[in-house]
Structure 1
Amino acid sequence: MNLASPTPRPAFPGSVGLSGLEVYPWPTADGLHGGSPHLHLTCTEGYVVVGGQGRLETLNHDEHAVHDLSAGDVVWFTPGTIHRAVNDGDLRVIVVMQNSGLPEAGDAVMTFPPQYLTHERYASTASVLGANGDPDPGRARARRDLAVEGFTELARQWDRGNRQPLADFHAAAAGLVTPRLREWTQTVTDGALAAAQDSLRQIDALSRGDHSYLTRATVSSIGRPDTQSLGMCGLLHAYDSLRRAGGPQSA
């Protein structure tokens, strides 16, 4: 009997993160349905819509906009863009995330009202763990509602021409992640930077007439994850965590 731990698979292309997302159908105070508005500090994120209908509401320094989403659409947004996934009917997307590992390490900050954006309060407010230590949909829904409350005020102020609350939120989000930056540097160095350096070494080898690295090619696969987690925007099938754990291969 082999009790050895499964071997992690190679990184996804460019060391991106990959998840299947079913956007929450839960109603919100403003009559919409969907997830928790948030931004990323260092990750560009992309949605590939695979089913249903919905919208992506975004807010950054330049604009407050709404992007319609239906099957086949692709939308992506850079760090600093607050985004809110709105589910108008069975909205399902594949999420492609830059810098695999960083969102799980705190790169995403939700738009809670200012009093919750402190080191003392943010982590407990953002947690989805119930009293028994297990993920609790009620906690996920409560934090979503609080993030919608904060986002609604940010968008209202922006629409009135007042950019200061958004600037204040950016500053608070940056302050929250400061203790994690050394860890993040290592994640990017071992992930996206290493992938880019591999490509440059391959280009250099080809320029010297050396194509021997082609003999080291591999193929990897992963089946659809059986378990779901409570994400910020909806129920997640997280492929990257399964990849890192050496989870089941697809048939």
Structure 2
Amino acid sequence: MSFHLPGAIGVSRLSVYDTTAPDGLHGGTPHMHLTCSEGYVVTAGAGHVQTLSGDGYRETPLRPGTVAWFRPGTIHRLVNEGGLQIVVLMQNSGLPEAGDAVLTLPEPYWSDHDAYRAAVTLPGGPDLAPAYRRRDLAVTGFLALREAGPAAFAEFCRFAARLVAPRLAEWRRRWETGALDAALETGRQLDALDKTDTSYLANGGVSVLPEPTESAKHGMCGLLETYIPRGDM
């Protein structure tokens, strides 16, 4: 029996960073997901999300009640204009935690993967200074990408693909046992109903996570409280 959240999504509560980045704005770390769509449900505060994709640069306002989402290949950066809090919905629970996010570090890091990994890895512990340094480095690279145009964006995508290549087998395994299996389960249920077989309905019930599995985690865009069913661990 699956213990994933519906559709094998990931759910987190996010308090967006409110410290100042190099361009004077407050907020998070620009990054791109390669295989996971991401959605925001804004629960408090105000801000906007800056995005850079094949469609160009865009700013989307975020207010309580807003639902916004974007596909893989969208560089995104949350900007906090005051008390911004969000429930984050992530496709393919487990993949983002396994490295499906590439930060927009400046171009010199694109040719040295070891230097990139050293720059983006946080030491752990309660000190937020390393997270802010990582954020500032990524903002610097993001601003350069935004000015450089489509060719630079395309080259960043190629860099990201090269960077994650060694992890693709692991990602495929997580997808097959997570989101793919959750989708196939619907097919199995339809097959059963087609045969008037209702035995699977005896497996109904309620699963509860009464509190976050992880709290005060240093995410890319702020402090995270994540909900992880044991099937995703």
TM-score, structure 2 length as denominator? 0.95
Letter in 1 for 2:147: R
Matched, 1:212 2:199: yes
Question: Is residue 54–residue 89 contact of structure 1 (8 Å, CA) maintained in 2?
Answer: yes
1:208, CA displacement in angstroms? 1.1
Letter in 2 for 1:237: E
Looking at structure 2, the residues matched to 189 and 136 of structure 1 have their Cα atoms a distance apart, in angstroms, of 36
Map of 2:61 onto structure 1: 68
Pairwise CA RMSD of aligned residues? Answer: 1.8
- Select the residue among 130, 143, 155 that pairs with 1:152: 143
- What is the CA deviation profile of residues 192-235 of structure 1, one whole-angstrom value per residue up to 9, with x for unaligned ones? 11001111000111111111111111211112327210000000
Question: Is residue 128–residue 135 contact of structure 1 (8 Å, CA) maintained in 2?
Answer: no
1:9, CA displacement in angstroms? 7.8
- What is the CA deviation profile of residues 55-96 of structure 1, one whole-angstrom value per residue up to 9, with x for unaligned ones? 000000112100000000000000000000000001000000
Large movers: runs of 4+ above 6 Å: none
- Select the residue among 164, 182, 199 that pairs with 1:195: 182
1:135, CA displacement in angstroms? 5.2
Gaps of 5+ in 2: none
Question: Is residue 54–residue 88 contact of structure 1 (8 Å, CA) maintained in 2?
Answer: yes
Gaps of 5+ in 1: 1-7
SS of 1:11 mapped into structure 2: coil
Question: Is residue 9–residue 220 contact of structure 1 (8 Å, CA) maintained in 2?
Answer: no
- Select the residue among 121, 125, 136 that pairs with 1:127: 121
1:246, CA displacement in angstroms? 9.8
- What is the CA deviation profile of residues 19-41 of structure 1, one whole-angstrom value per residue up to 9, with x for unaligned ones? 10000001112111000000000
Looking at structure 1, the residues matched to 77 and 143 of structure 2 have their Cα atoms a distance apart, in angstroms, of 11
- What is the CA deviation profile of residues 156-197 of structure 1, one whole-angstrom value per residue up to 9, with x for unaligned ones? 122xxxx11111110111111000000000000000110011
Question: Is residue 128–residue 136 contact of structure 1 (8 Å, CA) maintained in 2?
Answer: no
- Select the residue among 141, 150, 153 that pairs with 1:166: 153
SS of 1:92 mapped into structure 2: strand
SS of 2:78 mapped into structure 1: strand
Map of 1:185 onto structure 2: 172
> May I ask how many residue pairs the two structures share in their alignment?
231
Matched, 1:227 2:215: yes
Question: Is residue 51–residue 74 contact of structure 2 (8 Å, CA) maintained in 1?
Answer: yes
